[in-house]
Amino acid sequence: MKNVEHIGIAVKSLEASNELFSKLLNRQPYKQESVESEGVNTSFFQNGETKIELLEATNPDSPIAKFIEKKGEGIHHIAFEVEDIIAEMERMKSEGFILLNETPKRGADNKLVCFLHPKGTNGVLIELCQSI
């Protein structure tokens, strides 16, 4: 496990939150990207070594829509950079963590990602991500 690569924040409106975070961080998002398989529109702000990822649902069945329904807007996940995602996934599994996907999947911002079930991580959704 390396640095915190990004913090994911669930928002109702990407447009409104882009404006808000642009003011907060005093910079514009460097990219916007839709991940259809996840039902999300995302935008990314670079802030030092760490990024902020804003996530907006594209449909009512999106995990982000369900998250906001349950908890409201707010921090959705913390993503750690890893060098070898397969090896880290194996290690996590052997430590008893529950993986939400058994094989790495293609995430936003040119990453291979795997999520750990928040049940096993004190309620915090953890993302492992490897740059590709």
Instruction: Give me the residues that bind Co ion (CB under 5 A), please.
Output: 8, 53, 79, 127
CB of 91 to Co ion, least distance (A): 20
CB of 113 to Co ion, least distance (A): 7
The number of beta carbons lying within 10 Å of the beta carbon of residue 40 is: 26
In the bound complex, which residue of the shown chain has the CB atom lying closest to Co ion?
8
**63 vs 120, beta carbon nearer Co ion:** 63
CB of 38 to Co ion, least distance (A): 10
**8 vs 72, beta carbon nearer Co ion:** 8
φ/ψ of 36, rounded to 5, equals: -60, -40
**112 vs 120, beta carbon nearer Co ion:** 112
Measured CA distances, 92 to 84, 105, 110 (Å): 12, 16, 22
CB of 20 to Co ion, least distance (A): 19
Q: What angle do CA 96, 65, 39 make, to 5 degrees?
A: 80
**1 vs 94, beta carbon nearer Co ion:** 1
Question: Among positive and negative, which fits the CA dihedral 127, 75, 42, 11?
Answer: positive
Amino acid at the residue 105: K
